[in-house]
Each structure stands twice: as C-alpha cells, then as structure tokens.
Amino acid sequence: MFWQKDIETMDRKDLRKFQLDCINKQIALAKKSQFYKDKLAKIGELKSLDEVTKLPFTTKQDLRDSFPYGCLVTDLKDVVRMHSSSGTTGNPTVVFHTKDDIANWANISARSMYCAGARSTDVFQNTMGYGLFSGGLGFHYGGERLGMMTIPIGPGNSKRQLWFMQHFKTTVVHILPSYALRLSNTVKELGIDVKKDLNLRIFFIGAEPHSEAMRKKIEELYNVKAYNSYGLSEISGPGIAFECQCQQHLHIWEDYVYPEIVDPKTFEPLPDGEEGELVLTTLQRQAMPLMRYRTKDLTRIISEPCACGRTHRRIARITARTDDMMIINGVNIFPIQIEKTILSIPEAGKNYVIELIDHNCMDKLRIKVEINNDTFKGTLKDLEKLQNKLISELKQELDVTPIVQFVEAGSLPVSEGKAKRVIDLRAKK
Amino acid sequence: MAYHISVFLENNPGKLEKITTILSENNINLRAMSLASSGDFGVMKLLVDDPDKAFDVLKENKIAVTKRQIIGVVVDNVPGSFNKLLLTLASNKINIEDCYGFLLSNGTTAAIVLEIENYPDTAKLLCDKGFDVLSSEKIYKY
C-alpha cells in the first residue's frame, strides 16, 4: 500500500525532527544565493520548528526580481534542468534542478501516483503539456520511476488520445479536469463504450482548480477513480500534495516541504484547521531552496489522522487565491500580462474586460476590447486584421489562445484605480 | 467625390437601433445600406443624404465612424445589366471592397454603390466605357 512505508508512516515526532534537520540544511544552502545571502545573514541554526517564523517570506515577485540566477545556490555544472513560467512582458519565474532534485521530484511524483493505486503493471498516458510547463515532465519522470509504461502523448488531438487508450490499453491518465470533460464528447462521438472498449481505472486530475462535483462527473464519464493533485513549479511541480485512496483531502509530503498556513493579511501563522494562505519551505531542494514561499493558494491543514495510515498531514482542496492569478488550461495567467499586451497595440482601445467562460467544455479566456474610434478604418477586413493581431500577441504572451471580441467605445466600465476587469462566467462546476 | 459612412456595430439587440435613432433625430435620410458581420461584431455601411452631417453627429455620440469613398452607377433594371458592370471591372482587374444596390423610384433603373480601394480612376474608366456614373449630389438625393 505504500511506496516508502518508513517515510509515509513516520512517527510525527520523528518527522518533525527530520523536518528541522532538513530546514537547517536548506538555510545553510540558501545562504549561498545572491537573493538569500543578506536576508539570512543573521539567521543561525533553528532550535525548533516554531522558529521557522523567523525566516523571511519569499514571493513570486522575489523570484522575478532575482532573474535569472539570483536564487541559484549551486554551480551551473550541477544544474541539469530548468522550468520557467510563460510571459515576455516581465521576467519569468525560473526554477533550476540538479540531478538529485529531479530524482527527488520523480520520487514524490511516483509516491503520489502509487498512493492513488497506480502500479508498475499500469499503462500511463500523460496528456499534460511537455516543455517549460512542469506538469508534463514532472509526472512523466514519476511514472517511469514507478515503473509504469509511460506514454508521453502530451495534450490535444482527442481522437489520437482515444486511439492510444484503446490500442495500448491505457489504465492510468494524467489530465486537466476541463480537458477530461471535453474529451468525453469525442468518446461519445466515436461511440466508444468506456466499460467495454477501454481499460481505464485511475485519472490524476490537476493543474486547474476543480470541485468535488466535477471529480464525480469525471469518475462517472470514464468509470474511473479520479484523484486530485496539487503542486507548483516554484517548488518543483505536480506531486507536492496528493489524494490517497480515501479521496479525503490531499496528503502534503512533509519530508519534501514544510507547510504553514498564514493569515493572508497579517501573515501571522494560523493553527491547523483554519483557512489561510499556504506557505511552503523546501526540505530537499539542492539547486534552489526556498524559504517560506507564499503560494497565494488558500486552503487549510487537516491534522486529524487519515484512515490510510499515512502520518503526513493533509491540505483541503484549494478554494481560491489571494492574488488575481487565473489558471486556464493549466497555465498561470495574470491580468497584467493581458493589459500590457493590449496597451502595446495602439489601434486597439484601452478599455477591456477579461471573461472566463466555458467553451466546448474547456475553460477559455474571452477578452472584450473597446474599439478605438480614432483608428477605426471602417472595414470588417481591418477589424479582423486587428483581431488576429491581438489574438496572436496574446497567445505569445500567455501561452493560451484567447477569444477576442470588439465592443463599442465607452461600453465597458471605466477603470478607476484598480477596476475589476476579470469576470468569471463559468458555470459552477 | 461621394461618400457613404461606415460604423462599427456589436451584434446585439438595440445596437443598430441606436445608430438609426441618432440619424432620425438629426433628420438624416437613409437611402441604402449593407452589413458585414464577423459573428460577434460587424461593420455597417450607410448611404445617407448628408454624409458629412451624419459623420459629425455619430462622432459626437462616440460612435466609431468613418467616411469611405464610393462610386454610384446607374444600371437598367433588366437581366444582365449588373453583370455587364462587373465584367468591365473584372476585365480591368478592379476589385470590389463592398457593393450594394437599390431600385430607383422610376422602377426602370437601379443605383449600384461600389466601394473600391487602390484604383482611383475607376469612375473615369466607367464613364469612358459608357456607364452612367452618378455625381455625389445625385447619389445622395436622386
């Protein structure tokens, strides 16, 4: 039942001792970086985990500001991989990995998949994006580590996805929840009987917030058990917290990260059970240790023991974020990226709204841009040219293709200070 | 030079009515129109009796509007007459950007409105070929 029984069921007292030891090692390591050198100068060895609050917080902005190598603590010769966020309007957040980092990450990914019931006899189809995005490669390495035959098919092309599932008798799938819903349309179209024609048993759904109702729907549509997965690229990627077969909240791997919940306004630590911002300190990272990284994800820690016997505490499904980041098809998007892109095209109006909509069962961005009366040329051809320009520039910036619509000048709410420009029109999933 | 006006329109109830209300309140007569839509939005070309005034009042009302040059040609209301006009344009490699027509009150002739880009001598060419090219005064009031 366990991938690493000794670690997964470690006595909590021992686990805390292990965490303290790891944190002290991570502090010593972090001091080698340009970014933490001064910040940690006065921090000595911590005597207990209660002293973790002495450590400085780290934010996404800090990572951007220390681009490209400010947070790196090792020689480049020891770095074997990097992952990066999308975007060209500001510095991306870049995360570096040594050989050990990749191995440790593969190990917790394998552990996550194993605890959901995946075994080396399984055939694993990974429909997440490969590349700079950490979702695809993270579980690819985890799947191989676990010993599954891993199909690196990547996203899209629904007919091909189903063809692979049929011919290679795929049993385990890693998929965006919204894509799982869309793919089911193709299942129906092709007249595939999920019970007779497919061998599916486990879906890992993640990289996008989703509800319990959506999980149930995916389980029904594919006749599988679906498990929620949590992760973030700044730490490594998917597999940081995972549901066991009890499907009651996600075990956060406490030998890999030290979790805290803080009040999102005062940043004071909150007790287990109270909702706040999840803050993570890395315990094993070699290339880029992070101290008290503010995830901006809102959740709570569940310290009651789980029926599965694992002693690592659990976090609840992420309910919301403390910032304005949106997650569309697994890609993190900030409204400021959209604003900068629109403002860089003078022929477009300056007022816009961002709508999140359901489009063919997938989450989609719809951006309404006011027409610019001063540059209106009076032909549909010119409008379409401008529309295509906006779409292609936005796609380049965001890594997702939005819908762009023009509306009359003056028809959108005028921005006074920080206008609310993001509207979520998605049906509650 | 004759002009019609081109306005931006959202494809929503009441949007076109907003335009026609402004024209009506300013006593501007609408003679003909054509609409090109891209689904969610489109562009409407309006032939009015006073395009300068229409342009000004729409602009005042913050409507995206431009004036675009047109050529008006009178053709007989018989089979093949429009085709003859198009043949002449095509044989001279003149591309039509936009085109619409309306029957004149005598019932025996119709006016064809052409919007042509990148070929300034089209009106002269049509005159030379014997077509009845309308003066702007006639297009607006005929």
**Residue type for position A228:** N
Q: Hey, is the C-beta of B42 within 8 angstroms of any chain A C-beta? A: yes
- Inter-chain contacts counted by CB atoms under 8 A, chains A and B: 56
| Contact criterion met (CB < 8 Å) for A373 and B6 | no
| Contact criterion met (CB < 8 Å) for A383 and B40 | no
Q: Residue A323: is it exposed, middle or buried by C-beta count within 10 angstroms (0-12/13-18/19+)?
A: middle
Query: What's the distance, CA A107 to chain centroid?
Result: 18
8 Å CB contact between A219 and A84: no
8 Å CB contact between A169 and A143: no
Residue A229 to residue A239: CA distance in whole angstroms: 6
Query: What's the distance, CA A205 to chain centroid?
Result: 11
Question: How far does the CA of residue B50 sit from the closest CA of chain A (Å)?
Answer: 18
Residue B78 to residue A426: CA distance in whole angstroms: 55
| Contact criterion met (CB < 8 Å) for A407 and B41 | yes
Query: What's the distance, CA B28 to chain centroid?
Result: 15
> Which of B7, B10, B97, B117 to mutate against chain A (most A CBs within 10 Å)?
B10
CATH assignment, B70-141: 3.30.2130.10
For B6, the token pair is 């081109």
As a whole number, the mean pLDDT across chain B is 93
Residue A3 to residue A296: CA distance in whole angstroms: 30
pLDDT of A20-70, one tens digit each?
999 999 999 999 999 999 999 999 999 999 999 999 999 999 999 999 999
Boundaries of CATH 3.30.2130.10 in chain B? Answer: 2-68, 70-141
| pLDDT computed for residue B32 by the predictor | 94
pLDDT of B99-112, one tens digit each?
999 998 888 999 99
Question: How far does the CA of residue B7 sit from the closest CA of chain A (Å)?
Answer: 6
pLDDT of A252-299, one tens digit each?
999 999 999 999 999 999 999 999 999 999 999 999 999 999 999 999
- Taking domain B2-68, whether its CATH number is 3.30.70.3270 is answered by no
**Which residues, in sequence order, are CB contacts of A415 under 8 Å at separation 6+?**
A351, A421
pLDDT of A322-334, one tens digit each?
888 888 887 888 8
> Which of A372, A376, A382, A403 to mutate against chain B (most B CBs within 10 Å)?
A376
3-state secondary structure of B20: helix
ipTM value: 0.89
| pLDDT computed for residue B98 by the predictor | 92
Is residue A211's pLDDT more than 90?
Answer: no
Is residue B142's pLDDT more than 80?
Answer: no
Is residue A395's pLDDT more than 50?
Answer: yes
Residue A342 to residue A292: CA distance in whole angstroms: 35
The single-letter DSSP state of residue B22 is H
The more confidently predicted of residues A410 and A11 is A11
Q: Which of B15, B64, B97 is closest, CB to CB, to A373? A: B64
pLDDT of B14-41, one tens digit each?
999 999 999 999 999 999 999 999 889 9
Please name which of A221, A237, A233, A225 lies closest in space to residue A201, comparing C-alpha atoms: A225
Assigned CATH class of A331-424: alpha beta
**Residue type for position B55:** F
Inter-helix orientation angle A177-189/A212-222, to 10°: 30
Is residue A249's pLDDT more than 50?
Answer: yes
Please name which of A18, A199, A162, A174 lies closest in space to residue A110, comparing C-alpha atoms: A174
| pLDDT computed for residue A419 by the predictor | 52
- Taking domain A5-323, whether its CATH number is 3.40.50.12780 is answered by yes
> HEC string of chain A?
CCCCHHHHCCCHHHHHHHHHHHHHHHHHHHCCCHHHHHHCCCCCCCCCHHHHHHCCCECHHHHHHCCCCCCCCCCHHHEEEEEECCCCCCCCCEEEEEHHHHHHHHHHHHHHHHHCCCCCCCEEEECCCCCCCHHHHHHHHHHHHHCCEEECCCCCCHHHHHHHHHHCCCCEEEECHHHHHHHHHHHHHCCCCHHHHCCCCEEEEECCCCCHHHHHHHHHHHCCEEEEEEECCCCCCEEEEEECCCCCCEEECCCCEEEEEECCCCCCECCCCCCEEEEEEECCCCCCCCCCEEEEEEECEECCCCCCCCCCCEECCCCEECCCCEEECCEEECHHHHHHHHHCCCCEEEEEEEEEEEECCEEEEEEEEEECCCCCCCCHHHHHHHHHHHHHHHHHHHCCCCEEEEECCCCCCCCCCCCCCEEECCCCC
Is residue A429's pLDDT more than 90?
Answer: no
As a whole number, the mean pLDDT across chain A is 93
Q: Is the peptide bond before A68 cis (omega within 30 degrees of 0)?
A: yes
Radius of gyration of chain B (CA): 16
Q: Hey, is the C-beta of B56 within 8 angstroms of any chain A C-beta? A: no
**Which residues, in sequence order, are CB contacts of A248 under 8 Å at separation 6+?**
A306, A307, A314
Question: How far does the CA of residue B65 sit from the closest CA of chain A (Å)?
Answer: 7
Q: Which of A378, A387, A409 is closest, CB to CB, to B66? A: A378
Please name which of A41, A62, A38, A43 lies closest in space to residue A54, comparing C-alpha atoms: A43
Please name which of A83, A80, A66, A79 lies closest in space to residue A128, comparing C-alpha atoms: A83
| pLDDT computed for residue A294 by the predictor | 97
Please name which of A329, A337, A333, A401 lies closest in space to residue A363, comparing C-alpha atoms: A329
For A117, the token pair is 């019931």
Residue A162 to residue A313: CA distance in whole angstroms: 37
Confidence of residue A85 (pLDDT cuts 50, 70, 90): confident
The single-letter DSSP state of residue B21 is H
Is residue A17's pLDDT more than 80?
Answer: yes
| pLDDT computed for residue A417 by the predictor | 46
Confidence of residue A119 (pLDDT cuts 50, 70, 90): very high
pTM for this model (two decimals):
0.79
**Which residues, in sequence order, are CB contacts of B4 under 8 Å at separation 6+?**
B45, B46, B47, B48, B51, B67, B68, B70, B113, B115
Is residue B71's pLDDT more than 80?
Answer: yes
| pLDDT computed for residue A334 by the predictor | 86
Confidence of residue B96 (pLDDT cuts 50, 70, 90): very high
**Residue type for position A365:** L
The predicted model gives A189-209 an average pLDDT of 94
| pLDDT computed for residue A87 by the predictor | 64
| pLDDT computed for residue A57 by the predictor | 98
Confidence of residue A426 (pLDDT cuts 50, 70, 90): confident
| Contact criterion met (CB < 8 Å) for A376 and B8 | yes
Domain ranges within chain A, ordered by starting residue: 5-323, 331-424
